[in-house]
Amino acid sequence: MNSHKEISIIGVPADFGQSRRGVDMGPSAIRYAGAVERIQALGHIVRDEGDIPVDMDAPREVSGTNLKNLKAVTEGNRKLADQVSETVRDGRFPLVLGGDHSIAIGTLAGLNEHYSNLGVIWYDAHTDLNTAETSPSGNIHGMPLAVAMGLGHGDLTSIGSGPKVKPENIVVIGARSIDPGERELVREKGIRVYTMHEIDRDGMTAIMQDAIRYLEERGVDGVHLSLDLDGLDPLYTPGVGTPVQGGLSYRESHLAMEMLHSTGRITSAEFVEVNPILDERNKTADVAVGLMGSLFGETLI
């Protein structure tokens, strides 16, 4: 069986989902770090679709709710949803480059048109399960997983049709910063969250084996990887907007990607929250590209 994929890279140069400028340059930084060349070297056919048009000069606005830049985030995600859906319809693997994590709203909305039981692996220091009512900041990049479950402002949940993922089909890996409202939602919905406590105690191999088995038991018909670079410890990825100490290591993350590749089940992916302004010599983008290499089959021997 030919394991080579036809991959479409979709950039989303948007930073409206949070308050620190610069993450809009993430797609360019990742490309500069050699994403296309790295994946092509593995035998995959890569087509860079360019960037989703984003009006970065749009005024920063506060809506009538505790949601910052609601209109801009909504408009960008509608465009992304259409692009992702078209990519899947064409039989290509969508690889989305962010931008802040609010872009996952559009990615998952686009995927929802083609999967009836999608699984999601959320590789992140945060669970991103806030709503306007629970968010301490009003930043929508802390809400995309809640939106994907159909919870949140109607402008966001109405992108695409209905809820995009079932709570029981979600796996969060690397969590270590969870707000009170998110914690309550995790318990209420029974969402599978592997915190750094579990990873330290059991090891990444056991955690990934359990996570993969968990999704397989639910009969998912596709698995989307949403990887926030702040899932790793800031020692390895300093160029992120919301760093949290005590995170996943470089080696653990490569192992996780290698194990996901070996399943053959990853059907789409996004890498988000690379902020070159906060970075050190493009170090975070380099790590992102290295992890992509492992996800798409790169090995040492």
For residue 267, name the pLDDT band (cuts at 50, 70, 90).
very high
If you average pLDDT over residues 137-150, what whole number do you get? 96
In a domain, 1, yes or no: no
pLDDT for the residue numbered 63:
56
Asked if pLDDT for residue 32 goes beyond 80, the answer is yes
If you average pLDDT over residues 233-254, what whole number do you get? 98
- Residues making up the annotated binding site are 101, 124, 126, 128, 228, 230
Per the structure, how many domains does the chain have?
1
Domain region containing 101? 6-295
Q: Which CATH number covers residue 35?
A: 3.40.800.10
For residue 234, name the pLDDT band (cuts at 50, 70, 90).
very high
Task: Give the rounded percent of residues in the chain with a pLDDT score beyond 70.
Answer: 96
* Least confident segment among 2-6, 179-183, 195-199, 202-206: 2-6
If you average pLDDT over residues 78-103, what whole number do you get? 98
Distance (Å, whole) CA 166 – CA 20: 31
Q: Which long-range contacts (CB under 8 A, 24 or more apart) does 155-160 make?
A: 155/70, 155/71, 155/74, 156/70, 156/73, 156/74, 156/77, 156/105, 159/74, 159/77, 159/78, 159/81, 159/105, 159/106, 159/109, 160/81, 160/108, 160/109, 160/110, 160/112, 160/113
Q: How far is CA 104 from CA 37, 57, 255, in A?
A: 24, 22, 23
* Least confident segment among 5-9, 17-21, 87-91, 199-203: 17-21
- Residues making up the annotated binding site for Mn(2+) are 101, 124, 126, 128, 228, 230
pLDDT for the residue numbered 277:
97
Asked if pLDDT for residue 250 goes beyond 80, the answer is yes
3-state secondary structure the chain: CCCCCEEEEEEECCCCCCCCCCHHHHHHHHHHCCHHHHHHCCCCEEEEEEECCCCCCCCCCECCCCCECHHHHHHHHHHHHHHHHHHHHCCCEEEEEECCHHHHHHHHHHHHCCCCCEEEEEECCECCCCCCCCCCCCCHHHCHHHHHCCCCCHHHHCCCCCCCCCHHHEEEEEECECCHHHHHHHHHHCCEEEEHHHHHHHCHHHHHHHHHHHHHHCCCCEEEEEEEHHHECCCCCCCCCCCCCCCECHHHHHHHHHHHHHHCCEEEEEEECCCHHHCCCCHHHHHHHHHHHHHCCCCCC
In a domain, 301, yes or no: no
In a domain, 75, yes or no: yes
In a domain, 300, yes or no: no
Tell me the catalytic residues. Answer: 101, 124, 126, 128, 141, 228, 230, 273
For residue 76, name the pLDDT band (cuts at 50, 70, 90).
very high
Mean pLDDT score across all residues of the chain: 95
pLDDT for the residue numbered 64:
61
Distance (Å, whole) CA 245 – CA 225: 22
pLDDT for the residue numbered 1:
41
pLDDT for the residue numbered 301:
81
